[in-house]
Amino acid sequence: MLLTIFLAVLTCLSWGAMDFLSKLASKKFDDPIRLLIFVMLFEVIWSFILVLAIPPKHIDLSLFSIASFAILVIFGAAGLIFFFKSLSLEKVSIVSPISSSSVAITVLISILFFGEVVSVFQGFAIFLIFLGIILVSLDKNEKFNLKSKGVLFAVISMFLFGIAVAFMKSAVLASSPEFTQFVLRFFRFLIVFAYFSSYSFSKPLFSKSSIKLLPLIVAISILDVLGLLALTYALSVGVVSLINPIAYSSPIITVLLAFFILKERPYFVNWIGIAAVILGAILISI
């Protein structure tokens, strides 16, 4: 029990700090996708080392497993692109809770396509999440901030991540967690790199500023891999109803770091929305 709680808390702290550091780094890059490429490159390296250390015992190459991997790769890569773009445009204390609400989309997809039944409790949690997103999107005059591309991109990333995660279980069962993580990160990296090259072919990938930020980039990549690894092992030894509420509360860490270090001050109505989104994401995971 203590090991399960420790791993769940480690996931929460890792992902909460990762979003915060990603915001710090995005402020120093001229293009958030350039930052994403560097982060993903190191994540591929760490994941490959894990596969070498813990080789997979089986690999399922069935059509359904391959299709699940493809959905995870494509929608996950697109979600990352919109998430990092939103970080460069909007407060991380607003972006992180919205993006982390992807669990609501995953539940809805599970109901529509996999025949799962949602409880009244989960239905209320989904309502809280979408109500929170509306409140987060309001400006100080309590009107929709239609000019905020950051909020729009965060909502798009939420939907994309939600679709991807709905097929995570099938992909994980196809092989070991370490191998699954490596394959996903490798092909997502290729997609993001191809996207970056499509509009920035003539620009060099490396620059003096990016090299100076390597320690920060490495820290972001390690926190992401560590968080997912801790969550994977927590789920293998503990119960989901205990682990997920702790893991999905990571935006609380992000919001607190942004409040005290970045001095981010969302409007009062945004605070209510942030609280609703985080509470909904926790409740839906119970």
Domain spans of the chain?
2-284
Report the C-alpha gap between 124 and 128 in whole angstroms: 6
Report the C-alpha gap between 279 and 109 in whole angstroms: 20
pLDDT tens string 161-210: 989 888 776 666 667 778 888 988 999 999 999 999 988 766 666 666 67
Report the C-alpha gap between 60 and 230 in whole angstroms: 23
Report the C-alpha gap between 218 and 264 in whole angstroms: 25
Token pair recorded at residue 118: 């949602």
Residues 47 and 182 sit within 8 Å (Cβ to Cβ): yes
Question: Tell me, what's the pLDDT at 248?
Answer: 76
**pLDDT < 70: residue spans in the chain:** 1, 114, 116, 118, 139-147, 169-174, 201-209, 235-242, 244, 285-286
Q: Kindly give the residue spans of alpha helices, DSSP state H, lying in the chain.
A: 2-26, 32-53, 63-89, 92-100, 102-114, 120-136, 149-165, 168-173, 177-199, 208-212, 214-237, 240-247, 250-260, 268-284
Question: Tell me, what's the pLDDT at 88?
Answer: 93
